[in-house]
Structure 1
Amino acid sequence: MNPAPLLLALAALLDVGANALLKKSDGFRRLGPGILALALVLLAFGLLGVSLRTVPLATAYATWGGLGLALSALLSRRLDGTRLTPTAWAGLLLIGASVAALHHLHG
């Protein structure tokens, strides 16, 4: 079994966690969350890099970025009460469709 899809998903989750911590750091006024955010970003990039051994760059980056974007939008909805408009939901669906198309293109 190729671990790359799992590594990409984990990289996206770590990136979303880093973004949430970055928000909690209040522009690095709170050092603890800021430093942890940096550590998570480094780990996320490391996992992304490892996945590039077997996954084409466009597919890996689209997966990592698309999943991170969608999860960040949903997390913001949950934590901040951000309302996603129908257009925003359609955009998230288009991101998912784009990632799926790249996966299909590169097999």
Structure 2
Amino acid sequence: MNGATLLLGLAAVLDVIANALLKKSDGFKRWVPGVLALVLVVAAFGLLGVALKSVSLTTAYATWGATGLALTALMSRRLDGTRLRPAAWLGLALMAASVFVLHSS
């Protein structure tokens, strides 16, 4: 695992936390979680930008997006009790496979 991969992972984690805070902001009615969400989104994009120095845009965005989506799905189960159906798990697996193919090509 190289530095760019770690940056992409951290960017995805920050993005997921920002999404959770955005939900907590209740449409920005609660300003503290809303502002924190915005700060984390900017930080996530900053890390993505740094990672783009050594990773192609396609691979970086696919990795960031897929990681963020998978983590959001898992976090949603924990926070909201949302359960994924088998088709959703299959979709996440296909997404992971596509990121692997992008990284290996």
- Match in the other structure for 1:104: 104
- Match in the other structure for 1:28: 28
Once the two structures are TM-superposed, the CA of residue 62 in structure 1 deviates from its matched residue by 0.2
Question: What secondary structure does 1:83 align onto?
Answer: coil
- Once the two structures are superposed, residues 24-74 of structure 1 have per-residue CA deviations (whole angstroms, 9 ceiling, x without a partner) of 000000000000000000000000000000000000000000000000000
Residues 2-81 of structure 1 correspond to what in structure 2 (within 5 A)? 2-81=2-81
Unpaired stretches in structure 1, ≥5 consecutive residues: none
Unpaired stretches in structure 2, ≥5 consecutive residues: none
| Distance in 2, Cα, partners of 1:2 & 1:76 | 29
| Distance in 1, Cα, partners of 2:103 & 2:2 | 14
Question: What secondary structure does 1:53 align onto?
Answer: coil
Once the two structures are aligned, what percentage of the paired residues are identical?
Answer: 70
| Distance in 1, Cα, partners of 2:19 & 2:2 | 28
- Match in the other structure for 2:82: 82
Number of residue pairs aligned between Structure 1 and Structure 2:
105
| Distance in 1, Cα, partners of 2:26 & 2:11 | 23
Task: Compute the TM-score of the two structures, normalised by the length of structure 2.
Answer: 0.98
Structure 1 vs Structure 2 CA RMSD: 0.9
| Distance in 1, Cα, partners of 2:63 & 2:77 | 21
